């Protein structure tokens, strides 16, 4: 029997998914590994879907998505993102990830390079590799509040570089780039004639500062903006996202969409119309709850002696586990076995986070409190074990 594709054989699954699978063996496990909102989908969104299933058209739609939904996206962009896009520049996709994949498919040829943040969502690198392109990671270090170093970014550009992927607010760091940072990144793309893929999955989950969409400044159609209903409206399983680009790029994305998915689920598209055009107070309520959970988690971590980040957006917290002397994957595996707590290994997002784990704030206060307590207990235990291992060596050297 012939082997499977070299491309697929060379791709590893995300350690986050592996952690989720492993946690299934522990019925009492606390799950802080996934970015899965614990809020129900808002009632008016569900009602829109029910009405559609009973009374509306439920067959195929255009590959680009329903016209009414694309028009609703135009309304959303004007209301929340500060720019106007033509309807023929909008493509409805199966969540944000498919929008990123389809965008890469039309922007990259085999062996082309795409600059992807480190840390950043690991599936972006997987998508590039499936397309036989090369992901190049550009660092955003903790001591810079996870903001990219422009000088280091300049050094990574080659004649094969075709695109820069930017995520703000960031998964996993929660960093929200200010206007000057995003302008610098946009001008970097102009200077090197690159496309910018702007992942704005968490655009409505900003606690401090302001979300800025780089498409505001786009002069020549080089920005492809990515949005989704998943996080904003607690609609992860509905799988409705959007790619917003120049009509030329959008037309190419539609061509890619046709053989991959045909079109997004019609009932889910009706639900997305309800989400974008219906009451928005549900978004404010969820944002406020995530902010309160952030504040609770940071305060509790301080009491427990954990060193954690202070995210300004999204719904994740990073905990430093360097005291354990372990990389994030073995630490996370040991944490699950010893404490029945599932977290996301930091290395899932790039080498910069090898000594961190990501904690999702998509669980209630009680679970967060218990989860952080278990994490602190395990980290102290690992730190003591590491100290015991080093002590005999110190004695021998002294002797």
Q: Report pTM.
A: 0.95
Strand order in the sheet with 344-345: 316-320, 356-360, 344-345
For the domain with range 43-277, which CATH number is right: 3.90.1150.10, 3.40.33.10, 3.40.640.10, 3.30.70.1520? 3.40.640.10
- Check whether 106 has a pLDDT greater than 50: yes
Q: How far apart are CA 151 and CA 5, in angstroms?
A: 37
Strand order in the sheet with 113-118: 90-93, 241-244, 223-228, 195-199, 161-167, 113-118, 134-139
| Residue matched to tokens 């930017």 | 166
At residue 309, the pLDDT reads: 96
Q: What percentage of the chain carries pLDDT values higher than 70?
A: 98
Cross-strand bridge partners of residue 320: 356
Q: How far apart are CA 131 and CA 109, in angstroms?
A: 8
Contact 306, 375 (CB under 8 A): yes
At residue 6, the pLDDT reads: 87
At residue 390, the pLDDT reads: 80
List of E strands, the chain: 30-31, 90-93, 113-118, 134-139, 161-167, 195-199, 223-228, 241-244, 316-320, 341-342, 344-345, 356-360
Q: How far apart are CA 215 and CA 244, in angstroms?
A: 9
At residue 62, the pLDDT reads: 97
- Check whether 125 has a pLDDT greater than 80: yes
* pLDDT tens-place string over residues 207-216: 999 999 999 9
> Which residues lie below 8 Å from residue 68, measured CB to CB, with a gap of 6+?
273
The two three-digit tokens of residue 281, written as one number = 């107070």
> Which residues lie below 8 Å from residue 366, measured CB to CB, with a gap of 6+?
none
Cα dihedral 185/187/189/195 (nearest 10): 90
* pLDDT tens-place string over residues 328-381: 999 999 999 999 999 999 999 999 999 999 999 999 999 999 999 999 999 999
- Check whether 395 has a pLDDT greater than 90: no
Side-chain-side CA neighbours of 317 within 13 Å: the count stands at 29
Mean pLDDT of 22-43: 95
At residue 341, the pLDDT reads: 97
- Check whether 398 has a pLDDT greater than 60: no
Angle of helix 122-130 relative to helix 95-107, nearest 10 degrees, comes to: 40
Question: β-pairing, 316-320 with 356-360?
Answer: antiparallel
* pLDDT tens-place string over residues 267-293: 999 999 999 999 999 999 999 999 999
At residue 399, the pLDDT reads: 44
For the domain with range 6-40+281-392, which CATH number is right: 3.40.50.10800, 3.40.50.720, 3.40.710.10, 3.90.1150.10? 3.90.1150.10
- Check whether 225 has a pLDDT greater than 80: yes
At residue 392, the pLDDT reads: 61
Mean pLDDT of 235-256: 98
The two three-digit tokens of residue 176, written as one number = 């929200």
| Domain locations along the chain | 6-40+281-392, 43-277
Tell me which residue of 275, 289, 264, 196 sits closest to 230, measured CA to CA.
275
Which of 2-6, 141-145, 189-193, 331-335 bottoms out in mean pLDDT, i.e. has the lowest? 2-6
* pLDDT tens-place string over residues 10-22: 888 888 888 999 9
Side-chain-side CA neighbours of 353 within 13 Å: the count stands at 32
CA 81 and chain centroid, separation = 18
Mean pLDDT of the chain: 95
């Amino acid at each position: 029997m012939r082997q499977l594709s070299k491309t697929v054989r060379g791709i590893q699954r995300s350690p986050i998914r592996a952690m989720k699978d492993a946690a299934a063996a522990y019925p009492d496990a606390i799950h802080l590994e996934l970015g899965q909102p614990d809020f129900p989908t808002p009632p008016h969104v569900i009602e829109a879907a029910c009405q559609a299933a009973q009374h509306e058209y439920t067959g195929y739609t255009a590959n680009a998505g329903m016209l009414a939904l694309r028009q609703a996206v135009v309304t959303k962009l004007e209301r929340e993102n500060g720019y106007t896009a033509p309807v023929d520049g909008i493509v409805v996709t199966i969540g944000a990830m498919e929008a990123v994949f389809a965008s890469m498919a039309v922007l990259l040829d085999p062996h082309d390079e795409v600059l992807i943040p480190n840390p950043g969502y690991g599936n972006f690198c997987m998508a590039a590799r499936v397309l036989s392109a090369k992901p190049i990671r550009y660092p955003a270090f903790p001591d810079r509040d996870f903001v990219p170093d422009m000088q280091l970014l300049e050094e990574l550009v080659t004649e094969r570089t075709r695109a820069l992927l930017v995520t703000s607010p960031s998964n996993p760091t929660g960093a929200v780039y200010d206007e000057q940072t995003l302008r610098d990144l946009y001008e970097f793309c102009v200077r090197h004639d690159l496309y910018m893929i702007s992942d704005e999955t968490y655009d409505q989950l900003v606690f401090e500062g302001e979300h800025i969409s780089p498409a505001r400044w786009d002069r020549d159609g080089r920005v492809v903006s990515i949005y989704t209903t998943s996080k904003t409206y607690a609609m992860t399983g509905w799988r409705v996202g959007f790619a917003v680009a120049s009509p030329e790029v959008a037309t190419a994305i539609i061509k890619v969409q046709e053989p991959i998915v045909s079109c997004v689920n019609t009932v889910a598209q009706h639900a997305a119309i309800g989400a974008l055009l219906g009451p928005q107070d549900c978004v404010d309520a969820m944002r406020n709850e995530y902010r309160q959970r952030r504040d609770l988690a940071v305060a509790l971590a301080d009491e427990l002696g954990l060193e954690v980040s202070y995210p300004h957006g999204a719904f994740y917290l990073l905990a430093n586990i360097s005291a354990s002397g372990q990389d994030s994957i073995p630490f996370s595996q040991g944490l699950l076995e010893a404490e029945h707590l599932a977290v996301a290994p930091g290395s899932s997002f790039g080498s910069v986070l090898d000594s961190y784990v990501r904690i999702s704030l998509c669980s209630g206060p009680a679970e967060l409190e218990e989860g952080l307590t278990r994490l602190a207990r395990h980290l102290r235990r690992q730190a003591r074990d590491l100290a015991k291992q080093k002590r005999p060596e110190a004695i021998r050297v002294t002797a």
